[in-house]
Amino acid sequence: MEFLGDSVLGLVVTEELYKRFPDLDESRLSPLRSGVVNMRALADIARELDLGKYIRLGKGEEVTGGRDKNSLLADALEALIGAIYLHAGLATTATVVQKLIATTLTQAMQRGAGLDGKTALQELTAQLGSGAPEYIVTETGPDHDKSFSADAMVAGVCISSGTGKSKREAEQVAARSAYEILKPQVMDDTK
């Protein structure tokens, strides 16, 4: 079900983006789609639906907080979308998916024309002439439940920090935050 739901989700989101932004090329549409259908975004939607309480888990996953793991929540949402598709068809599924992703799509668009946080920050620091951002990542916790913290460094200065369940997630959170902090500088420079 997850495999089917992933494909249906990708199709619906791609069509929605194509309709909303007919003038954007693939290089801008693809990262925007990724901003909507990534594991973290899907897990957040699953949390809004309280989907975690309906997942059947083994004892190990139950003990280690599986009901709130991004990967399991995202997979469960994709499986749900697959089930809706099989039961009700593409048109109904598209309507459901569009409602589910509305907020996530708006947030992705606001983050800089579909750029992920790290790419957006890198483009911004290039505009500022500050060089490429760097990330200092630390990890804590036992192997089965690691947490990561990342500092986004620009020109040797820590601009912001972020946390996540993976190194990449922590870096993305830190980068998005740094982007929001530094973006006004670019706006001031263009006035």
> Which residues form the catalytic set?
6, 78
CA angle (32 as vertex; 42, 36 as ends), nearest 5: 10
Beta-carbon neighbour count of residue 11 at 10 Å?
15
CA 6 to chain centre: 15
Evaluate whether 75 touches 83 at the Cβ level (below 8 Å).
Answer: no
SS3 breakdown of the chain: % helix, strand, coil, rounded to 5? Answer: 70, 10, 20
Binding-site residues for Mg(2+), please? Answer: 2, 75, 78
Looking at 67-186, which runs of residues are DSSP E strands? 134-140, 147-154, 157-164
Evaluate whether 12 touches 98 at the Cβ level (below 8 Å).
Answer: yes
List all residues 6 or more positions away from 79 whose beta carbon is below 8 Å from its beta carbon: 1, 2, 5
Residue 65 region by backbone torsions, left for phi larger than 0, else alpha for psi between -120 and 50, else beta? left
Which of 116, 128, 101 minimizes the C-alpha distance to 174? Answer: 116
